[in-house]
A and B are shown apart, each in its own frame.
Chain A
Amino acid sequence: MAKTVKIKVFRYDPDIDKEPHYETYEVPYSEGLMILDALNYIYENIDGTLAYRWACRAGQCGSCAVIINGKPKIACRAALEKEEDVTITPLLQFPVIKDLVVDLERGLRRIERMRPYVERVKKAPRPEIMTAEAIEPIKEFRECIECWACISACPAVAEAWQEFSGPMYHAKFARLQFDERDVEDRVKMAFIEGLYKCTTCRACVEVCPKEIEIPEKAIEKMRAIAVRTGLGPLPGHAEYTSRAIKFGRTVDKIGTSLLEMVQTGYAARVKNPKDTVGYFPGCLTDYRLQEVGKAIIEILTKNNIEVIVPSEFTCCGSPLIRAGLVDEAKENLVPKNVKILEGLGVKTVVTGCPGCGMTIKRNYPELIGRELGFETMHVSQYLARNVDLNVNDMTSVNVKATIHNPCHLNRGLGAPDDLENVMSKIPGVKLVEMEEADRCCGAGGGVRAGERSISMMMARRKGEFIINSGAEACVTQCPFCYIQIRDILKQLGYEQIKVYDLADLMVKSYRGEKP
């Protein structure tokens, strides 16, 4: 018999049904089938009452977006996987008309309100001269097909759509701002529509059928203009950004820093090292989470990797860049770090902070106008990909734990599975799944500092997922996520759920300590 796939579909006709329910259909599988084909199959062969939208079946009209196993996607370009059962639900944020068809009116009205067209004061010259360079920054945004997938995926929109219109709208603001023909102040409009509420989690990029880089190319670029015109950054950003510019750290020093605790400037001694890496601790690890830093060095050493810790470094600039202080980061921080890190003479620099990693890897080359002389990796990425992990020296930690996958690791550095891969190798870890392990905790993008209330709403949802998972511990590997999650679990009265940086847990396993 031909292989079939089970498709579970959200069904709801408000005229008839008391409440929504799911129906499961079996659809024959063949290579290259898309989710839209499956829906068509169901409509054509099983149930003619199924309501869903489609038109072009070529990824061009944007009408067919639905949520597929939790991720909003356009159905005509989402492949049906052979071995996988599928659940299909309607887009979030919109009322359901029927089944998978939602009423977009609220979203459309909001587009109209933003005056989404090139506003001119003078009559356009005919023909109009515009260079290829002038249209280059806008072209990408023009590809948007208004499929609403990003709106449905955005964690900030999910908490407070009134306050933050969301990625698609901000792509439109940016498109108009960067269009030299448009005379409106789109930065101000974007500011009012929540420019500083985006956590730069990249959930929108992940689902966008046109892969539009909204956080990097719209939000952060618009924040940079907001800063230049005095609208940004927010009061909550002032203290740590100016501290970073003045002292090279976003936080002030309490007690002994990591750099003062460990051997710096040359490699930690390992016999017959398999590799030598540079280690970039980042502000929070140096001044607040020193134990995590020490653990990372110890773990690498246990795996026969030589580690060079620079004797000095400055803040990577991420907190500044995310807040729009790009010029400041470019001037005061970036060149210094580039010199230090390239001076280490290593092929690979690892960091335990995904924010630092993403910034060095993605932003530095653009800011200095050339590629870097080394590869940047998050430590879990490095351990998962470049190291044959030493499990012989590990002892059982015996903990029921769940994973929070940091956005800037998962989507920023493009490493969705590495954290789990490494963690699953630690003996005694009983992994339990939480709902949406890759959902943003709300800490990033300067949102925790600048927009505390929406940040905590996102955190609360994360906290609830962690609690519902039944885990005794939540493991992550990002100083920002770590602090955010610890805070929210405490606020929710679940301090007994421990929060670990992966390095913490792993080093305990090597040391034979019980967590």
Chain B
Amino acid sequence: MAEGGVNAALGNVDPEDSWESHFKDTVKGGAWINNQKLVETLTKEAPERILDLEEYGALFDRTPEGKIVQRPFGKQSYRRTCYASDRTGHEFMATLVEEVRRRDIDVMEEIFVTNLLKTNNTVVGAFGIEYKTGDFLVFRAKATVLAAGGTGRIYKTTSNAAQDTGDGYAMGYRAGASLIDMEMFQFHPTGMVFPESACGRLVTEGVRGEGGILTNINNERFMKRYDPRLELAGRDVVARANATEILEGRGTPHGGVYLNISHVDAHIIEDRLKTMLRQFLDTGVDIRKEPMEVAPTAHHLMGGVMVNEEVATDLKGLWAAGEVTGGIQGGNRLGGNALAGTQVFGKIAGENAAKYAQNVEKPSIDLAQVKKEIKHAQSSLERRKGIRPVQVRTKLANLMWDKVGIFRTGKELQEAISEIGRMQMEEIPRLYATGKGTRYNHEWIKTFEVENMVLTAEMMARAALMREETRGAHYRKDLPKTDNKNWFVNIVIKQENGKMMFKKVPVVMTLLKQGA
């Protein structure tokens, strides 16, 4: 759950800040392949959305004048990141849940959606399973918004929650939507390394924002060798620096680097980094006094379902918002931009979907599709033997970490793709759940998740192989240069006649010419 904060050019701390500056930082940070129309919307509307949240009842930390306070985050020209201690995402969720309760919006919890349903090339709802009973549900909808989040769980070491299994990308793909920038996956520079149980757990960028310093085993502030912005360089740069230090033998005993904040006043740590303080105290480390050990962790997929300025997908009846979408963050996301995106584009998606719904008839559902879903769902329950989802997930997560990770090579990507292909052929059809009951059978649900993970992984690995250069978070050891002549483009994926098709499309630019 998001921790460090949310970017909005409110200018509360640095009055010179502006949406234009936020725009520029985002596009530069994104290695120039962001859709600039979307970035414009993001940066212009973020401040209003933060104020919306405050109106709903959110409590952000304050400046002395009583405005929302802002801290520096990586690669940003001004102090722009608003926060509620280091539990900003929780503050968002708590607030939104309260607002949902105020408006008495119907929420159905613990429903797993297996697929979008389509009639005449229009999305008309979705098929799902209720955890509690195992009952099948058909949602018939005039308009559908996809907001299924990310896919960090396809990696062995990740900051992401159990449910971040790429369902949205896979469902979008299967329904025939286009996906963009799927090779652009962000590794957060600082995840916990010890104990094993905590491995990958996020150490928020807020630590570096508040003055945290990275050192290696030789007590060297190694970021000096990598980037003049030191710890507040882009996430890709810091993640690679940390990984390099560790790979080259300058790591800590537990295989990380040191992140130290103990020079900062204890009360500042207690107030602004409370979650981190607790999270490390749990493991016997007092960050007020000692350094943390950290290493990169799989964090965020920049790519995703392609949307236009209306956040409509290229499927009629389907809108999308949040991490499931691609194009906004480009080749690398600035810390604090994801939360901003959820609010800005979530609102647009909701409004446009609602507007559309007012003007169309209730669609009909194609029963053949529903039957197919039921049959598919039942097959893994009926199967008596085969392969358990956890086995596939473990293999996939190791594979992705080793071969589609921070540093990539054509050879390894190729290997990953063939292994994924083998999993698709040999393992996915044999997935089964040990328990045969339908009541809260989460192994059953995981069979769908794993299928989605493997499909998402395939898109990511193949797009990564296709992009023959280094850009943003996508680092090719065999092709370490950025190749603007051939690769200043986005890669778009779409299913055509049952095949995964890739094409290069020009980057959407509005205000900023490349390199400006």
| Chain A interface residues toward B at CB < 8 A | 13-16, 30-34, 37, 43-44, 47-49, 51, 54-61, 77, 79, 97-99, 101, 103, 111-112, 115-118, 124, 126-132, 134-135, 138-139, 142-145, 179, 181-182
A residues near B90, Cβ cutoff 8 Å: 60, 143, 145
The docked-state distance in angstroms from the alpha carbon of A233 to that of B187 is: 57
CB distance from B123 to the nearest CB of A (A): 27
**Is B57 an interface residue, CB under 8 A from the partner?**
yes
Known pairs A49-B441, A111-B101; list 18 more (Cβ under 8 Å): A48-B390, A48-B435, A55-B161, A55-B162, A58-B279, A59-B278, A61-B1, A79-B282, A97-B439, A98-B440, A99-B440, A116-B101, A117-B57, A127-B54, A128-B54, A139-B59, A139-B85, A142-B59
**Is B99 an interface residue, CB under 8 A from the partner?**
yes
CB–CB B51/A127 < 8 A? yes
- Which of the residues B64, B68, B87, B434 comes within 8 Å of A48, measured between beta carbons? B434
Per-position 1/0 for B497-508, Cβ under 8 A of A: 000000000000
B residues near A117, Cβ cutoff 8 Å: 56-57, 98-99, 101-102
A residues near B198, Cβ cutoff 8 Å: 32
B residues near A144, Cβ cutoff 8 Å: 94
CB–CB A33/B390 < 8 A? no
CB–CB B65/A15 < 8 A? no
CB–CB B282/A77 < 8 A? yes
CB–CB A118/B56 < 8 A? yes
- Which of the residues A31, A37, A77, A118 comes within 8 Å of B57, measured between beta carbons? A118
CB–CB A129/B66 < 8 A? yes
Q: List residues of B (26-79) whose CB comes within 8 Å of A's CBs.
A: 51, 54-57, 59, 61-62, 64-68
- Which of the residues A15, A57, A127, A139 comes within 8 Å of B437, measured between beta carbons? A15
Shortest 5 CB-CB distances between A and B: which pairs? A32-B195, A49-B435, A118-B57, A48-B434, A117-B98
CB distance from A33 to the nearest CB of B (A): 5
Instruction: Give B93's nearest chain A residue, CB to CB.
Output: A61
CB–CB B442/A58 < 8 A? no
- Which of the residues A98, A116, A132 comes within 8 Å of B439, measured between beta carbons? A98
- Which of the residues A16, A60, A116, A181 comes within 8 Å of B98, measured between beta carbons? A116
CB distance from A182 to the nearest CB of B (A): 8
The docked-state distance in angstroms from the alpha carbon of A34 to that of B435 is: 25
CB–CB A32/B283 < 8 A? yes
B residues near A31, Cβ cutoff 8 Å: 195
- Residue of B162, B197, B434 with highest tally of chain A CB at under 10 A: B197
A residues near B202, Cβ cutoff 8 Å: 58
Known: A15-B439, A33-B195, A117-B99. A48 touches B388 (CB 8 A): yes
Q: List residues of B (243-302) whose CB comes within 8 Å of A's CBs.
A: 274-275, 278-279, 282-283
CB distance from B169 to the nearest CB of A (A): 19
- Which of the residues A37, A98, A101, A182 comes within 8 Å of B197, measured between beta carbons? A37
A–B complex contacts, Cβ < 8 Å, 19 sampled: A32-B194, A32-B283, A33-B195, A34-B197, A44-B390, A49-B434, A51-B439, A55-B161, A56-B161, A57-B161, A60-B1, A99-B440, A117-B57, A129-B65, A130-B59, A131-B66, A134-B66, A139-B84, A143-B274
Known: A48-B434, A49-B435, A142-B59. A61 touches B196 (CB 8 A): no
B residues near A115, Cβ cutoff 8 Å: 101-102
Instruction: Give A79's nearest chain B residue, CB to CB.
Output: B282
**Is B10 an interface residue, CB under 8 A from the partner?**
yes
**Is B167 an interface residue, CB under 8 A from the partner?**
no
CB–CB A51/B434 < 8 A? no
- Which of the residues A15, A48, A60 comes within 8 Å of B275, measured between beta carbons? A60
The docked-state distance in angstroms from the alpha carbon of A134 to that of B161 is: 33
A residues near B434, Cβ cutoff 8 Å: 47-49
- Which of the residues A58, A112, A132 comes within 8 Å of B62, measured between beta carbons? A132
Per-position 1/0 for B118-157, Cβ under 8 A of A: 0000000000000010000000000000000000000000
Instruction: Give A140's nearest chain B residue, CB to CB.
Output: B274
Instruction: Give A49's nearest chain B residue, CB to CB.
Output: B435
The docked-state distance in angstroms from the alpha carbon of A56 to that of B433 is: 23
The docked-state distance in angstroms from the alpha carbon of A396 to that of B390 is: 60
CB distance from A262 to the nearest CB of B (A): 45
A residues near B98, Cβ cutoff 8 Å: 116-118
CB–CB A143/B197 < 8 A? no
The docked-state distance in angstroms from the alpha carbon of A16 to that of B57 is: 45
Instruction: Give B50's nearest chain A residue, CB to CB.
Output: A127
Give the number of residues in B that approach A within 8 Å (Cβ atoms).
57
B residues near A55, Cβ cutoff 8 Å: 161-163
The docked-state distance in angstroms from the alpha carbon of A111 to that of B104 is: 12
**Is B427 an interface residue, CB under 8 A from the partner?**
no
**Is B443 an interface residue, CB under 8 A from the partner?**
yes
CB distance from B404 to the nearest CB of A (A): 23
The docked-state distance in angstroms from the alpha carbon of A16 to that of B65 is: 61
- Which of the residues B67, B89, B102, B162 comes within 8 Å of A127, measured between beta carbons? B67
**Is B469 an interface residue, CB under 8 A from the partner?**
no
The docked-state distance in angstroms from the alpha carbon of A60 to that of B439 is: 26
- Residue of B3, B163, B439 with highest tally of chain A CB at under 10 A: B439
- Residue of A60, A79, A139 with highest tally of chain B CB at under 10 A: A60
- Which of the residues A54, A101, A130, A145 comes within 8 Å of B66, measured between beta carbons? A130
The docked-state distance in angstroms from the alpha carbon of A423 to that of B290 is: 40
Known: A129-B66, A129-B67. A59 touches B279 (CB 8 A): yes
CB distance from B387 to the nearest CB of A (A): 12
Known: A16-B437, A130-B66. A32 touches B161 (CB 8 A): no
Instruction: Give A124's nearest chain B residue, CB to CB.
Output: B55
CB–CB B161/A61 < 8 A? yes
Instruction: Give B432's nearest chain A residue, CB to CB.
Output: A48
CB distance from B53 to the nearest CB of A (A): 11
CB–CB A30/B161 < 8 A? no
CB–CB B55/A126 < 8 A? yes
Q: List residues of B (380-394) whose CB comes within 8 Å of A's CBs.
A: 388, 390
B residues near A34, Cβ cutoff 8 Å: 197
Per-position 1/0 for B413-453, Cβ under 8 A of A: 00000000000000000000111011111110000000000
CB distance from B151 to the nearest CB of A (A): 15
A residues near B201, Cβ cutoff 8 Å: 57-58
CB–CB B59/A138 < 8 A? yes
**Is B91 an interface residue, CB under 8 A from the partner?**
yes
CB–CB B440/A127 < 8 A? no
Instruction: Give B443's nearest chain A residue, CB to CB.
Output: A48
B residues near A118, Cβ cutoff 8 Å: 56-57, 98
Known: A56-B1, A98-B440. A30 touches B196 (CB 8 A): yes
- Residue of B57, B98, B132, B195 with highest tally of chain A CB at under 10 A: B57
CB distance from B108 to the nearest CB of A (A): 12
CB–CB A13/B439 < 8 A? yes
CB–CB B51/A126 < 8 A? yes
CB distance from A17 to the nearest CB of B (A): 10
- Which of the residues B54, B94, B435 comes within 8 Å of A142, measured between beta carbons? B94
- Residue of A47, A103, A117 with highest tally of chain B CB at under 10 A: A117
- Residue of A99, A130, A138 with highest tally of chain B CB at under 10 A: A130
The docked-state distance in angstroms from the alpha carbon of A144 to that of B433 is: 35
Instruction: Give B47's nearest chain A residue, CB to CB.
Output: A127
The docked-state distance in angstroms from the alpha carbon of A41 to that of B198 is: 15
Instruction: Give B282's nearest chain A residue, CB to CB.
Output: A77
CB distance from A192 to the nearest CB of B (A): 19
A residues near B438, Cβ cutoff 8 Å: 15
CB distance from B215 to the nearest CB of A (A): 23
B residues near A145, Cβ cutoff 8 Å: 90
A residues near B278, Cβ cutoff 8 Å: 59
Known: A48-B435, A55-B163. A131 touches B85 (CB 8 A): no
- Which of the residues B55, B62, B68, B390 comes within 8 Å of A131, measured between beta carbons? B62
The docked-state distance in angstroms from the alpha carbon of A243 to that of B67 is: 48
Per-position 1/0 for B178-195, Cβ under 8 A of A: 000000000000000011
The docked-state distance in angstroms from the alpha carbon of A130 to that of B62 is: 7
B residues near A182, Cβ cutoff 8 Å: 57
Instruction: Give A128's nearest chain B residue, CB to CB.
Output: B54
The docked-state distance in angstroms from the alpha carbon of A30 to that of B283 is: 13
The docked-state distance in angstroms from the alpha carbon of A81 to that of B422 is: 41
